[in-house]
Structure 1
Amino acid sequence: MTIDIREAYRRALEDFGALVHRIAPGQWENPTPCADWDVRTLVNHVVNESLCVPGLLAGRSAAEVGPAFEGDLLGDDPLKAFDASVSAATAAAGDDGALTRVVRLPFGDVPGAEYITELFADALIHTWDLARAIGADERLDPELVEACAAWFAGAEDGYRQAGVIGDPHPAPDGTDLQARLLAAWGRDG
């Protein structure tokens, strides 16, 4: 990966956040490409992940951190909840030791660099999901797409076996890297 993963993660969250701030009042219930998720559920998911980052990078296990952030985390001010969670996540991920820390996830321990890469990929793909749901421009940052595609080529089988992504969709010959990446993640992009 040619881009620092912490920078890629920050930029992916920034792009997602730009879309969050464009959600119109009547769009929170719009369906997303994520099965059974509307816009509010999708944003809540990213807030949940973001709130877990500081604790996980501090050495707490997912079992210790996760229960504190269950349910509706958006409350009456989804934008404030999103912004606060992203600020905490990017500060923790940007810490000098974040890449080498051991992160205790439900499926096992991983290096901080791998955890941040997974967060980055999730934020990037969900940026496309949110754009599709609210009718915004679906073009993702090409540098981030390239970084995600390079990493995902080695991670796809594990993700698929874990059941955390849908079945791949066929990508017609000649499609760009973004369309191929989305197809690998089970999206019709």
Structure 2
Amino acid sequence: MTIDAREAYRRALDHFGALVHQIRPEHWDNRTPCVDWDVRALVNHVVGESRWASHLLAGRPVADVGDAFDGDLLGDDPVKAFDISAIAAVQAMGEERSLTRVVHLSFGDVSGEEYINELFADALIHTWDLARAIGADERLDPELVEACAIWSADAKETGDRPTATTGEPRSAASAADLQTRLLASWDRHG
């Protein structure tokens, strides 16, 4: 990755959060590029991922957390719920051992750096999903797109696919820009 995983994740969350703050009341039921998710479900997913981060980066296994983050995590103030969860996730990954700690996921153990990269990719791809759903600017930060493309290609080689995937990756024309090619590899079409 061309930039530190923690910095990439923080920046992706910041961009997602900026869009969350642009959501108008009529947007919450809009469909997203994610199968079966509207805007509220997409934001709820990212909030859930952020809330999981502090527990998993502290070394807790998934089984210990259980179903604590199932269901609606947004309550009556979805924007505030997002802000609080993003702050907690950024704080958790800022811990000294966050990159080297073993993180116990449902499919096995990974390094903290790998987990943070997964969170980063998820947040970045979902930033585009949210922008598309609310009619906002869909251009992603080019540095983050490049970092995600590099990490995603490496993850594909090892057989690991992050959570933002909604189907089989598709190819984009080789002349397409990097964002278009990245999105196509995540089954997104601009």
Q: Distance in 2 between matches of 1:165 and 1:77?
A: 27
Counterpart amino acid of residue 42 in structure 1: L
Q: Please give the secondary structure, in 2, of the residue aligned with 1:145.
A: helix
Counterpart amino acid of residue 83 in structure 1: D
Structure 1 residues 35 and 7, CA, compared in 2 at 3 Å: closer, same or farther? same
Identity %: 68
1:99 alignment partner in structure 2: 99
Greater helix proportion: 1
1:60 alignment partner in structure 2: 60
The total of aligned residue pairs comes to 189
Counterpart amino acid of residue 39 in structure 1: V
Q: Please give the secondary structure, in 1, of the residue aligned with 2:36.
A: coil
Q: Distance in 2 between matches of 1:91 and 1:51?
A: 11
Q: Distance in 1 between matches of 2:93 and 2:162?
A: 27
2:188 alignment partner in structure 1: 187
The unaligned stretches of length 5 or more in structure 1 are: none
Provide the TM-score with structure 1 as the length reference.
Answer: 0.96
CA contact (8 A) 2:5 2:117 kept: yes
1:76 alignment partner in structure 2: 76
Shift of 1:160: 5.4
Structure 1 residues 177 and 162, CA, compared in 2 at 3 Å: closer, same or farther? closer
Q: Please give the secondary structure, in 1, of the residue aligned with 2:147.
A: helix
2:127 alignment partner in structure 1: 127
- Cα deviation, 1:76-101, whole Å, max 9, x if unaligned, reads 00011000000000000111110000
Shift of 1:169: 2.3
The alignment's C-alpha RMSD in Å is 1.7
Provide the TM-score with structure 2 as the length reference.
Answer: 0.95
Q: Distance in 1 between matches of 2:29 and 2:37?
A: 9
2:174 alignment partner in structure 1: 173
Q: Please give the secondary structure, in 1, of the residue aligned with 2:67.
A: helix
1:34 is the counterpart of 2:20? no
Of 95-104 and 63-72, deviating more is 63-72
1:137 alignment partner in structure 2: 137
- Cα deviation, 1:98-149, whole Å, max 9, x if unaligned, reads 0000000000000000000000000000000000000000000000000000
Any runs of at least 4 consecutive aligned residues in structure 1 with deviations exceeding 3 A, and if so which? 159-165
Shift of 1:66: 4.3
Counterpart amino acid of residue 175 in structure 2: G
Q: Distance in 2 between matches of 1:87 and 1:110?
A: 23
Structure 1 residues 163 and 72, CA, compared in 2 at 3 Å: closer, same or farther? closer
The unaligned stretches of length 5 or more in structure 2 are: none
